[in-house]
């Protein structure tokens, strides 16, 4: 087959040039910023065979966390009374900092005491690519303080020669421990670190100790210690040594980091070991070292009896070049909706060659959406779907490119729609303790099934009525696609009067509202995971709503429930009024009438969550000045409240925000802090972790980026005791000493960074070049051999409707990717050469014996 492509090239006309867009020469990126962006997405599926309690009640209440090194950035709901908890929780977030390990901890919830860590899965950053995009069972490893380390140490060693009083020469080792960076939080607070510095050999162990540094994860020690490492032959005292002269080759410096526990036991933070023979070719050695677990850390012989955890992990690291580099690729992708047939377009080809279609869908949808090209592209791929659909009852029920694109589109543009439609009722359900269990097997003692049915019906009716009256809030892009789907479905099945409704309801009810109801936390409709009883209530409501939508649209006389109790319950809704309401709603959201965006009449809800804010500055700095508050950001204002739903204590109009920037940890000895600089005193806020801080800074920058009088410079620290801690200027209104961070242009409601999405698409093409080559060869084979296909070939899995057009598109893709490879390779070389091994950016991974 490999020989077919050249033959095809002769048969085809010359592929046109990729694009006439003028782009910089490779190497021009040196003078401009290259953004390195990390993201993590995946799914915590389930655990199994967890260790039972020793007592009569063997079950556990389990939850799972995601940690960057030792910093928790995500937590699942609690699954009660199970040794094989099923979590099934998807996650996605940007990673704003460097890290060494990605860890997943399984906990046993404890109401009265600290939650018990059952076990963990720890994956080195460089090993994440080995698990990308596939579900894997990982054995849980034991958790102990000796293995829980993060951070790095800056060290300098020197070997001096000294002349003793009697004229002999001996050598002296000088150990300068300069600083540490990135030490973990202890009980949510910055630690009180100190270091022990030991010279260890076959017959000696000399130890010294630094001073304790208070409340910091980045201590500056700057302490020097001296050790005599060789003795003259005239030295006769042998209390510490077995030989008259030591062998330097066998000596090593060991540095242990500890958190000073004051009245409790000190906590081990990590260690490094550096052999003294690093000085054999140079009298001085200076480097950063990554802290390592202690000798016996995580080496328990019992590693298979803690249980296991099933995970799906996809970690990406993108090097985003300046915008002008992506002109040709962007142009080719944005032409996709106009290519005939659609299967020959660059966007469709990407979905064909990716190992997982979902990898391609997210950046494609976001890029096309950003340029108003999603509706024609989704319409074209949906039309391709319909060609293979034989039964109207199964329309858009598969997991195709079309359905995945629409799913992703609804998640991106439908967030505000869900908030204004579902959130008030979901809040009522989650804050209430009403039982809605109608399964006789699951009823608790004292439950009345008839009362539960009434409770459940009340919630279903309230939610259903809100949904069917919400058409004016439905985003225009969703309405436009629903209109296209409806028209195509009617043309495909002209004799089925109900297909025009089922084509729309299969998305808006089944894939949008029903999913959001059963997992409100995922759609940011609730701040925390609901408890087990509430999840059960939401599941029953979701099932009913989804069936009402499909049942109403198809006018079925029977429900599709397998459970007898659900069939009985659903009889309450088998009335003509529900069918009429569903059809009227589907008519409204799939019409071509222009709808006024709800965002013009009411503020768009952007983000909310619990954080700590510092008092506005009348009292002395202290822990008591940081108070937990509920923050809420809309397109109009930033507010904070004592609790969710309470009146605002403080309000900052968005138009008054002048800058949003990170705050140096040294300001208050607290991590993950940022400042909202506005027309009054700055608001200092501490987020719960680095991911959350990054998300708040990002959304606040986006919503305020067009404000007048935005600052160009800011102070990265605080004004205290008459001067700025960062630059020591004494005037409180002095111009900032650091340039403000330039925000990436993006839509306020739809956060889309088109360069980042195009870079992601470039990376996917690069990873899938072999499959792209096979597709190119398949086009050649089809063009050269026109006879009947006798048996499956390598290309039988590709959708190739027009081999000539597809071949030309592939040629364009390869040309563009090859051109983009040059600046990427140049940047990688520059980065690897600038990040010298042993630098702060590329620390030495010291041995752990």
DSSP string covering 282-336:
-SEEEEEEE-B--TTTT--S--SSS-EEEEEEEEEEEEE--GGGGHHHHHHHHTG
User: What pLDDT band is residue 795 in, cutting at 50, 70 and 90?
Assistant: low
Q: What is d(CA 209, CA 526) in angstroms, rounded to the nearest whole number?
A: 49
Q: What is d(CA 464, CA 472) in angstroms, rounded to the nearest whole number?
A: 15
Mean pLDDT of 289-299: 71
Distances (CA, A) of 56 to 52, 53, 109: 10, 8, 18
Q: Does the pLDDT at position 233 exceed 80?
A: no
User: What pLDDT band is residue 591 in, cutting at 50, 70 and 90?
Assistant: confident
User: Among 708, 700, 684, which residue's Cα sits nearest to residue 633?
Assistant: 700
Can you give the pLDDT at residue 461? Answer: 95
Please tell me whether the overall predicted TM-score, pTM, comes out greater than 0.75 for this model.
yes
CB atoms closer than 10 angstroms to residue 56: 5
Contact indicator for 531, 508 with CB cutoff of 8 Å: no
Q: What is d(CA 561, CA 539) in angstroms, rounded to the nearest whole number?
A: 13
Half-sphere CA count of 165, side-chain side, radius 13 A: 1
Using alpha carbons only, give the angle 762, 766, 767 rounded to the nearest 5 degrees.
Answer: 120
What are the residue boundaries of the structural domains of the chain, listed by start?
35-140+307-312, 152-231+246-290, 326-369+753-786+795-848, 389-557+565-589, 605-615+624-739
Q: What is d(CA 667, CA 718) in angstroms, rounded to the nearest whole number?
A: 6
CB atoms closer than 10 angstroms to residue 801: 14
Which residues contact residue 171 at a Cβ distance below 8 angstroms, ignoring those fewer than 6 apart? 159, 160, 161, 162, 228, 229, 230, 248
Least confident window among 603-607, 645-649, 725-729: 603-607
Half-sphere CA count of 75, side-chain side, radius 13 A: 18
Mean pLDDT of 477-488: 92
Q: Does the pLDDT at position 520 exceed 50?
A: yes
Report pLDDT digits (tens) over 416-427. Answer: 899 999 999 999
Q: How many residues does the chain have?
A: 849
Q: Does the pLDDT at position 848 exceed 70?
A: no
Coil vs helix vs strand at 270? strand
Contact indicator for 530, 542 with CB cutoff of 8 Å: no
Distances (CA, A) of 44 to 134, 514, 689, 732, 807: 12, 21, 20, 48, 40
Burial readout 520-539 (b: 16 or more C-beta within 10 A, e: otherwise): bebbbbbeebbeeebbbbbe
User: What pLDDT band is residue 263 in, cutting at 50, 70 and 90?
Assistant: confident
Can you give the pLDDT at residue 810? Answer: 95
For residue 341, whether the previous peptide bond is cis, meaning omega lies within 30 degrees of 0, is yes
User: What pLDDT band is residue 7 in, cutting at 50, 70 and 90?
Assistant: very low
- The alpha-helical segments, DSSP class H, found in 497-640 are 499-507, 514-518, 532-554, 564-570, 576-589
User: What pLDDT band is residue 304 in, cutting at 50, 70 and 90?
Assistant: low
Does the domain formed by 389-557+565-589 have CATH 1.10.506.10? yes
Topology agreement, domain 35-140+307-312 and domain 152-231+246-290? yes
Can you give the pLDDT at residue 347? Answer: 96
SS3 content of the chain, % helix, strand, coil (to 5): 40, 25, 40
User: Bridge partners of 159?
Assistant: 173
Least confident window among 40-54, 359-373, 552-566, 598-612: 552-566
Report pLDDT digits (tens) over 104-126. Answer: 999 999 888 888 899 999 998 88
The rounded radius of gyration (Å) of the Cα atoms in the chain is 31
For the chain, the distance separating the N- and C-terminal CA atoms, rounded to the nearest angstrom, is 53
The two three-digit tokens of residue 395, written as one number: 């329309």
Q: What is d(CA 391, CA 168) in angstroms, rounded to the nearest whole number?
A: 98
Q: Does the pLDDT at position 239 exceed 90?
A: no
Average pLDDT taken over every residue of the chain: 84
User: What pLDDT band is residue 458 in, cutting at 50, 70 and 90?
Assistant: very high
Can you give the pLDDT at residue 789? Answer: 52
Q: Does the pLDDT at position 21 exceed 60?
A: no
Can you give the pLDDT at residue 742? Answer: 61
Least confident window among 258-267, 300-309, 367-376: 300-309
User: Among 578, 813, 573, 746, which residue's Cα sits nearest to residue 94?
Assistant: 746
User: What pLDDT band is residue 830 in, cutting at 50, 70 and 90?
Assistant: confident
Mean pLDDT of 500-505: 90
Least confident window among 86-95, 393-402, 658-667: 393-402
One CATH from 3.40.30.110, 2.60.40.10, 3.40.50.300, 2.30.29.30 for 605-615+624-739: 2.30.29.30
Q: Does the pLDDT at position 244 exceed 50?
A: no
Mean pLDDT of 664-669: 86
Q: Which residue has the tokens 């939650």?
A: 115
The two three-digit tokens of residue 73, written as one number: 């950035």
Contact indicator for 748, 654 with CB cutoff of 8 Å: no
The two three-digit tokens of residue 753, written as one number: 């960074």
Does the domain formed by 152-231+246-290 have CATH 3.40.50.1000? no
Q: What is d(CA 42, CA 312) in angstroms, rounded to the nearest whole number?
A: 5
Q: Does the pLDDT at position 504 exceed 80?
A: yes
Q: What is d(CA 37, CA 39) in angstroms, rounded to the nearest whole number?
A: 7
User: What pLDDT band is residue 562 in, cutting at 50, 70 and 90?
Assistant: confident
Q: What is d(CA 769, CA 802) in angstroms, rounded to the nearest whole number?
A: 20
CB atoms closer than 10 angstroms to residue 615: 13
Helices then strands, each counted (H, E), the chain: 18, 29
Q: Does the pLDDT at position 101 exceed 80?
A: yes
Contact indicator for 259, 210 with CB cutoff of 8 Å: no
Mean pLDDT of 185-205: 85
Q: Does the pLDDT at position 301 exceed 60?
A: no
Q: Does the pLDDT at position 265 exceed 60?
A: yes
Report pLDDT digits (tens) over 676-686. Answer: 999 888 999 99
35-140+307-312 falls under which CATH superfamily? C2 domain (2.60.40.150)
Q: What is d(CA 811, CA 813) in angstroms, rounded to the nearest whole number?
A: 5
Q: What is d(CA 254, CA 275) in angstroms, rounded to the nearest whole number?
A: 9
Q: Does the pLDDT at position 380 exceed 70?
A: yes
Q: Does the pLDDT at position 184 exceed 70?
A: yes
Q: What are phi and psi of 659, to 5 degrees?
A: -170, 155
Can you give the pLDDT at residue 635? Answer: 85
Can you give the pLDDT at residue 838? Answer: 83
Q: What is d(CA 118, CA 50) in angstroms, rounded to the nearest whole number?
A: 8
Burial readout 400-420 (b: 16 or more C-beta within 10 A, e: otherwise): bbbbbbbbbbbbbbbbbbbbb
Can you give the pLDDT at residue 236? Answer: 43
Can you give the pLDDT at residue 558? Answer: 54
Q: What is d(CA 467, CA 578) in angstroms, rounded to the nearest whole number?
A: 12
């Amino acid at each position: 087959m490999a020989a077919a492509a050249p033959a095809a090239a002769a048969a085809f006309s010359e592929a046109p040039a990729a694009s006439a867009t003028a782009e910089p020469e490779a190497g021009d990126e040196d003078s401009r910023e290259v953004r390195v962006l990390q993201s993590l997405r995946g799914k915590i599926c389930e655990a199994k065979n967890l260790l039972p309690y020793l007592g009569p009640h063997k079950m556990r209440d389990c939850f799972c966390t995601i940690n960057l090194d030792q910093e928790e950035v995500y937590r699942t709901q609690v699954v009660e009374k199970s040794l094989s908890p099923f979590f099934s929780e998807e996650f996605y977030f940007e990673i704003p900092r460097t890290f060494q390990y990605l860890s997943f901890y399984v906990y046993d919830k404890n109401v009265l005491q600290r939650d018990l860590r059952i076990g963990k899965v720890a994956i080195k950053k460089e090993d994440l690519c080995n698990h990308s995009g596939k579900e894997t069972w990982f054995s849980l490893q034991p958790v102990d303080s000796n293995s829980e380390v993060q951070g790095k140490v800056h060290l300098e060693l020197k070997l001096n020669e000294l002349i003793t009083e009697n004229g002999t020469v001996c050598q002296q080792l000088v150990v300068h421990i300069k600083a540490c960076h990135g030490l973990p939080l202890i009980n949510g607070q910055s630690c009180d670190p100190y270091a022990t510095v030991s010279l260890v050999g076959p017959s000696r162990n000399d130890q010294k100790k630094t001073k304790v540094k208070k409340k910091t994860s980045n201590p500056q020690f700057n302490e020097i210690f001296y050790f005599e490492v060789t003795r003259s032959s005239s030295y006769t005292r042998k209390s510490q040594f077995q030989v008259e002269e030591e062998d330097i080759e066998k000596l090593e410096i060991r540095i242990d980091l500890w958190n000073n526990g004051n009245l409790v036991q000190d906590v081990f933070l990590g260690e490094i070991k550096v052999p003294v023979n690093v000085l054999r070719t140079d009298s001085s050695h200076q480097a950063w070292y990554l802290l390592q677990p202690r000798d016996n850390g995580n080496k328990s012989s019992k590693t298979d009896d803690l249980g296991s955890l099933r995970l799906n992990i996809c970690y990406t690291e993108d090097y985003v070049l300046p915008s002008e580099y992506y002109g040709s690729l962007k142009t080719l992708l944005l032409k996709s909706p106009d290519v005939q047939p659609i299967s020959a377009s660059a966007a469709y080809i990407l979905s064909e060659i990716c190992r997982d279609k979902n990898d391609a869908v997210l950046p494609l949808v976001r890029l096309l959406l950003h340029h108003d090209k999603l509706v024609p592209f989704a319409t074209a791929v949906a039309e391709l779907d319909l060609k293979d659909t034989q039964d109207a009852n199964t329309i858009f029920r598969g997991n195709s490119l079309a359905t995945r694109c629409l799913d992703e589109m609804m998640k991106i543009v439908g967030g505000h729609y869900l908030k204004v439609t579902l959130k008030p009722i979901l809040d009522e359900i989650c804050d209430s303790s009403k039982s809605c269990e109608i399964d006789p097997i699951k009823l608790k003692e004292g439950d009345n099934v008839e009362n539960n049915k009434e409770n459940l019906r009340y919630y279903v009716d309230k939610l259903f009525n809100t949904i069917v009256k919400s058409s004016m809030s439905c985003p225009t892009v969703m309405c436009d696609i629903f209109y296209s789907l409806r028209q195509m479905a009617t043309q495909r099945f002209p004799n089925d009067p109900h297909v025009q409704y089922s084509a729309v309801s299969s998305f808006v009810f089944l894939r949008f509202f029903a999913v959001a109801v059963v997992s409100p936390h995922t759609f940011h409709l609730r701040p925390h995971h609901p408890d087990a009883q509430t999840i059960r209530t939401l599941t029953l409501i979701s099932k009913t709503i989804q069936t009402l939508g499909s049942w109403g649209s198809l006018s079925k006389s029977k429900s599709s429930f397998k459970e007898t109790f659900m069939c009985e319950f659903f009889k309450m809704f088998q009335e003509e009024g529900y069918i009429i309401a569903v059809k009227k709603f589907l008519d409204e959201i799939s019409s071509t009438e222009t709808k006024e965006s709800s965002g013009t009449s009411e503020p768009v809800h952007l983000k909310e969550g619990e954080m700590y804010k510092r008092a506005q500055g009348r009292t002395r700095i202290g822990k008591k000045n940081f108070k937990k508050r509920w923050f809420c950001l809309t397109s109009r204002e930033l507010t904070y409240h004592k609790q969710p739903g309470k009146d605002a204590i403080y309000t900052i109009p968005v138009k008054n925000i002048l800058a949003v920037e990170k705050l140096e940890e040294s300001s208050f000895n607290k991590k993950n802090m940022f400042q909202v600089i506005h027309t009054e005193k700055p608001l200092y806020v501490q987020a719960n972790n680095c991911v959350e801080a990054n998300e708040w800074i990002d959304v606040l920058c986006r919503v305020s980026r067009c404000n007048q009088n935005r600052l160009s410079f800011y102070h990265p620290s605080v004004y205290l005791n008459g001067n700025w801690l960062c630059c020591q200027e004494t005037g409180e209104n002095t111009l900032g000493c650091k340039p403000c961070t330039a925000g990436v242009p993006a839509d306020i409601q739809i956060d889309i960074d088109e360069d980042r999405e195009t870079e992601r698409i470039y990376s996917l093409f690069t990873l899938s070049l072999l499959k792209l080559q096979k597709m190119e060869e398949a086009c050649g084979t089809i063009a050269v051999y026109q006879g009947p296909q006798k048996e499956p070939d390598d290309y039988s899995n590709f959708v190739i409707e027009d081999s000539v057009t597809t071949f030309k598109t592939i040629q364009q893709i390869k040309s563009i990717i090859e051109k983009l490879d040059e600046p990427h390779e140049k940047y990688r070389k520059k980065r690897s050469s600038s990040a010298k091994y042993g630098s702060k950016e590329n620390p030495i991974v010291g041995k752990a014996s």
